[in-house]
Amino acid sequence: MSFQRALWHSGLTYKQTCPKCHAVTQYQDDKLDFRPWYADGFIYCSRCRAPLRHNEAYAIDAEGNYLNTTPPAAPAAPAAPVAPVAPAAPVAAAPIAEGSTAYCKNCGRPYIVGDAKFCNGCGNKLD
């Protein structure tokens, strides 16, 4: 599978900051590498070699200012772990009155409460 974008180069210069090591990398789009999971292309960080996703919003002018004035937000660092919350106590289901109709949890077949201990359809134990 070939990407048509790989055949076209804008000649623009791009600048990205690596979210891992915070190194600034400048490149032109002819240096982009393409993989199916990075459809717009990617480059490697100049310091830590982490793959950086390309985006047209990273384009800069000759002075190093972003052309669209606001670069895309860098991926956020993982949030601090949150203290686990104790699970709520399970709520007991109200007992079904003897002689009423209930349904098998496994196959859905109706049965009369109190008449049988096992489902006639699938053999599952009835509550």
Per-residue pLDDT at 21: 92
Query: Is the model's pLDDT at 124 over the cut of 80?
Result: yes
For residue 41, what are the β-bridge partners?
none
Phi–psi pair at 91, nearest 5 degrees: -90, 125
Q: Which residue has the higher pLDDT, 89 or 20?
A: 20
Q: Which structure tokens are listed for 98? A: 């003897």
> Which of helix, strand or coil describes residue 27?
strand
Per-residue pLDDT at 2: 47
Domains of the chain by residue range = 4-60, 95-127
Please check whether residue 52 is in contact with residue 43, taking contact to mean a CB–CB distance below 8 angstroms.
yes
69 falls in which pLDDT band (50, 70, 90)?
low
Residue type, 25: T
Please check whether residue 50 is in contact with residue 61, taking contact to mean a CB–CB distance below 8 angstroms.
no
pTM, whole model, 2 decimals? 0.46
